[in-house]
Amino acid sequence: MKKDINLAVDDSIRAISFLKQDRSISFIENSAKMIANAFKNGKKIVIAGNGGSLCDAIHFAEEFTGYFRKKRKALPAIALADPGLLTCVSNDEGFEFVFSRALEAYLNEDDIFVSLTTSGNSKNLLNAIKVAKQKNARTITFLGKTGGFTKDLSDLEILVEGFSTSDRIQEAHMAMIHIIIEMVEKIMFTPIDLLKKLKNKAMNL
């Protein structure tokens, strides 16, 4: 069993190492800037996923509405996890419409819709992205495997390739989520004088 555990640990490290790629760094940076800008302009983010990705969506949202690393004002983030809504729409119209129906109610222009999917083939997320675009909202998508039919549909997206199972993809997604939240807090709540010092320091390197 120790051999299997070591192999699993190595695989997990490989998933996290994906974050060091230039495309991952760019995605994290651009997502943090987009989300921080939305919050600064009185907008919100709405997050959705299925199964383990729904759990990640809930975690993503509560780090903004609650606390992450420091005390600061609550930030408007909603995870689409209401069992009443999900079962109502599933029963009356179909599971593929549970998120798009919610976005009809919650999403406004220039809000951000974030979708989490390890396959990219979730019809309910595809329909939700379509509604988000119809509402002129911004879109961010976390993908895995081949990207599926939701690939190339969002304003920003990251595709975690090279893993056949969802667990490793979700580990990479969650690490990126935590870093995005950390960067949003730095953008929004770092004192302006410190930001100037950091910028000057970077220019002098």
Sequence spans of domains, the chain: 2-203
Can you give the pLDDT at residue 183? 97
148/123 Cα distance (integer angstroms):
10
- Give me the pLDDT at residue 196, please: 59
Lowest mean per-residue pLDDT among 75-79, 88-92, 98-102, 199-203: 199-203
Q: What is the pLDDT of residues 120-159, one digit of tens each?
A: 999 999 999 999 999 999 999 999 999 999 999 999 999 9
Residue 120's identity, in one-letter code, is G
Walk across the sheet containing 45-49 and list its strands. Answer: 77-79, 45-49, 112-116, 138-144, 156-160
The pLDDT score that the predictor gives to residue 164 is 87
pLDDT band at 191 (very low <50, low <70, confident <90, very high): confident
| Banded model confidence at residue 198, pLDDT cuts 50, 70, 90 | low
Task: Report the C-alpha gap between 114 and 157 in whole angstroms.
Answer: 10
- Is the pTM higher than 0.85? yes
Q: What confidence category does residue 162 fall into, taking pLDDT thresholds of 50, 70 and 90?
A: confident
Q: Is the pLDDT of residue 197 over 90?
A: no
Residue 131, SS3? helix
How far is Cα 129 from Cα 41, in angstroms, rounded to an integer?
Answer: 22
The pLDDT confidence band at residue 11, using thresholds 50, 70 and 90, is confident
CA atoms within 13 A on the CB side of 107: 29
For domain 2-203, give its CATH number from 3.30.365.10, 3.40.50.10470, 3.40.50.10490, 3.40.50.1000.
Answer: 3.40.50.10490
- What mean pLDDT is reported for the chain? 93
Contact 60, 177 (CB under 8 A): yes
pLDDT (average), residues 107-113: 97
The pLDDT value recorded for residue 190 is 87
Q: Which residue blocks in the chain are alpha helix, DSSP H?
A: 2-17, 22-40, 52-65, 83-92, 98-106, 123-134, 166-189, 192-203
Q: What is the pLDDT of residue 89?
A: 97
